[in-house]
């Protein structure tokens, strides 16, 4: 089995779950933050929507520079519809790239750098899983706490929630 085919079911599942969580973000609270050092609800939602673009960048080139490539980020969204449109577009693009990736491409080295200095290097498939899936799961967990603090019912993520039982 091709390596991409082993990752696609997980990618599809995590993206679908993440979309359900993003759909619940209340626009009226987009400027709210749980702590002065935390993102706003709109900011974390926008960040999550952009994370699949990391998958695109990982599969399209040999590395990503946090300083030199920072211009690729989109502005913070103020509407749920815009968050979802951004997310859906990047998910579609990342999935298409992953579906078409060969084993050799997925095993090729990929590097993360800051202003030209390499911070880490790993096989492209590992970078994709780490930055496009695990990173998204991490921030989705944060968003679920934001939603709970706003009294927004949480959708099932890995099973029933206190809001939506089995």
pLDDT tens-digit readout, 136-160: 999 999 999 999 999 999 999 998 8
Could you tell me the two tokens for 2? 């091709």
- In 3D space, the residue among 31, 51, 36 whose CA is nearest the CA of residue 140 turns out to be 51
Determine the angle formed by the axes of helices 41-60 and 135-149, rounding to 10 degrees.
170
The CATH number, out of the four listed (3.30.420.40, 1.20.120.450, 2.170.150.20, 3.40.50.10140), of the domain defined by the range 3-149: 1.20.120.450
Q: What is the pTM of this model?
A: 0.92
As given in the structure block, the two tokens for residue 14 are 């995590």
pLDDT of residue 118: 95
Ranking 18-22, 52-56, 85-89 by mean pLDDT, the lowest is 52-56
pLDDT in tens, 38-54: 999 999 999 999 999 99
Do 12 and 70 contact (CB within 8 A), yes or no? no
43 contact partners, CB below 8 Å, separation of at least 6:
33, 76
């Amino acid at each position: 089995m091709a390596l991409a085919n082993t990752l696609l079911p997980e990618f599809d599942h995590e993206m679908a779950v993440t979309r359900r969580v993003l759909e619940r973000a209340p626009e009226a609270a987009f400027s709210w933050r749980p702590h002065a050092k935390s993102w706003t609800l709109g900011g974390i939602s926008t960040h999550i929507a952009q994370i699949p673009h990391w998958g695109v960048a990982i599969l399209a080139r040999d590395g990503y520079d946090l300083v030199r490539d920072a211009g690729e980020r989109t502005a913070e969204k103020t509407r749920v519809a815009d968050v979802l449109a951004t997310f859906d577009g990047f998910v579609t693009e990342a999935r298409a790239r992953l579906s078409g990736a060969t084993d050799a491409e997925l095993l090729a080295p990929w590097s993360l750098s800051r202003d030209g200095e390499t911070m880490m290097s790993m096989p492209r498939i590992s970078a994709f899983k780490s930055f496009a899936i695990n990173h998204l799961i991490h921030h989705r967990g944060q968003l679920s706490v934001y939603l709970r603090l706003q009294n927004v019912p949480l959708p099932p993520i890995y099973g029933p929630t206190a809001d939506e039982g089995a």
